[in-house]
Chains A and B, each alone.
Chain A
């Protein structure tokens, strides 16, 4: 490392990190906009060129094939089926299956229940991704460096994720319940309210917020784990060097930690987007099918499994997929920076 200080991080600057060990590298590696370093076939230089004619290298294909087989067989093909069926009228109560072009999509976009649930789901995503990422970051930072009892804390942190969904629903509805719930009870015991309040079911925003808090409680361990693993990658020497240079704790957080943890944060955020965009259990258990909190996935369930209109159900699943891809892409573009040590 040349002078112990990471290159300046601006919002547009490449995420440049000098390698921590190994030989002397004269310059930080700016990796944004260039390909990560790759090894060519054996004996070749770093850019993969050889002076002799290249043979077809089979090893990467061998390594990748099992993965690709799984994905094609059990993800792409079913997805293709869904894609295909979404252009057909597949209404079990009204056979036979027949082609009807974009009608399924048109019907969905005109359905007020679907439209309402888009708005609800947008709120779920906004609240859920923000909260789980911030809280996950806080938890990961707390656990970043060694201290006594850290393993126990990690185990405690994971527990919400391990609780079965049905029990999570019971516990949290026992907390939010308007007639006999814990929150009401605590507030009453503290004399902050004099009668039990209705938290879920009347005000739309409050309803969505409280429902989403339950989901955040469940998914934050995942964000925290992802970010924690990324934090582990940051060499301690960087912090020491920042220290030596006179950086305060906040400075070294801002200039060392935050930029270098971006890949982990990006993965965590994408996972949060997927989880919140597909939220189903929490609103269903806590608020039934009410419009005030119905999510897109709930609509998919109703349309497919109650109305038995599987064509529309597949079409809606497709729309959800596209939405997920879009939002994830935006998140990745904004947050992800490749990092190499």
Chain B
């Protein structure tokens, strides 16, 4: 190609340059980036950037906010997965990218350990919020509140009541009855595969399993992060077995080996191709199944109190979205004011459309204030609102009592890759569960 005649001098130059780079790199790793001035305590006359995986509030609302506080809001809408990448990149590089951003329930432990966010309890009166915001507990770890939940997403079972009624199976209250009901629907020929389980190796499979574990009467990890599911008689083990058995025995479409949670909801449940999603998300009836542009089963889907072992309503695991203040924020106090406003009961009522469509936030499923959910249910504006309000109040609970552990993403990946391969037949349920348990053991002992 090109002459390989490289002089000795050139080699020395190259080596020298590389060495210099390494030295600079090693030195540079400790220092923080040049733009870190002390965060301003200004609370007025500034512009803050808010980065969330959702549409901004209506312009009218934001203008009102700016008028009353003097804070201008620049909104940055980034999709959830990419936003998590950005949050991590900015935390590692200790760089500013927003004054307020998403705090996902699953990252509470990790972000707290990284000390990447300001404790919200120092800026906002979280104690008085707590009674009206049951899911605040998911965001509290070691006494600090990492973020404020702005919606109240939780896992809930949805059923196609038309199919259930046609098969004459009523509303099952136990896991056994639920599974039987599905079998009946299958044998009666209403659908070929009645149950949707998203077996793609993605996060939705993990949360589905946690919800099933709750239905079988237990939790996945104890408060020290030790696995509770290794024993074949434990709820977690039974839940995994139940899921894989359902798949292998023809209750779940074979194609689901590669279907994610949202895919299953949109392409199967909303098309009437399955009869039930055991671990669906609260609000989907209003935001998906009853929307004619997206669904073929309008008015046919309803929520079901979680089937359990003893017939009492089972738990509904919470997976709410929160908003918090990164430590690199330029205007933390102003951001706190914004968060207070954004998560206030009044605004949530507006966003939910209770005060007219011009103030509504599109695709806002469920407010985090219990009082607002109740309002919506009373006004008939929340489809299945009564059920959801009840669940939010009494049966919804955090997946992890002390907030998600700091090593949650790695653990979750072990969960979904192993459950996926158990469903595909690459390993048995037993070896999958053992692998997940081993990961949990390793992570909980090496990292606190």
Contact = CB atoms under 8 A, between A and B. Distances in A.
Main secondary structure, interface of A, reads loop
A80 B22 contact: yes
Interface in B108-134: 110, 113-114
Nearest to A338: B1
A310 B200 CA distance: 26
Interface in A129-185: 177-180
B26 interface: yes
Interface string A69-95: 000100011011111110010101110
B31 interface: no
A308 interface: yes
Contact of A179 (B202, B267, B407): B267
Nearest to A95: B114
A289 B25 contact: no
B24 A80 contact: yes
A22 B213 CA distance: 81
B347 to A, nearest CB: 31
B177 interface: no
A281 B46 CA distance: 38
Contacts of A94: 446-447
A84 B22 contact: yes
B413 A288 contact: no
Interface residues of B, number: 51
A200 interface: yes
B22 A196 contact: no
B255 A196 contact: yes
B413 A290 contact: no
A119 interface: no
Interface string A229-245: 00000000000000000
Interface string A283-317: 00011111110000000011001111010000000
B258 A287 contact: yes
Contacts of A84: 22, 25-26, 29
Contact of B255 (A35, A72, A198): A198
17 contacts: A79-B21, A80-B24, A81-B24, A81-B28, A84-B22, A84-B25, A85-B25, A94-B447, A177-B267, A178-B253, A178-B254, A178-B256, A198-B254, A198-B257, A289-B417, A290-B201, A307-B409
Given A97-B30, A292-B421, A305-B85, 17 more contacts: A77-B25, A81-B25, A82-B25, A84-B25, A177-B255, A196-B255, A202-B257, A287-B258, A288-B200, A289-B202, A289-B416, A291-B201, A302-B413, A305-B89, A306-B413, A307-B407, A308-B110
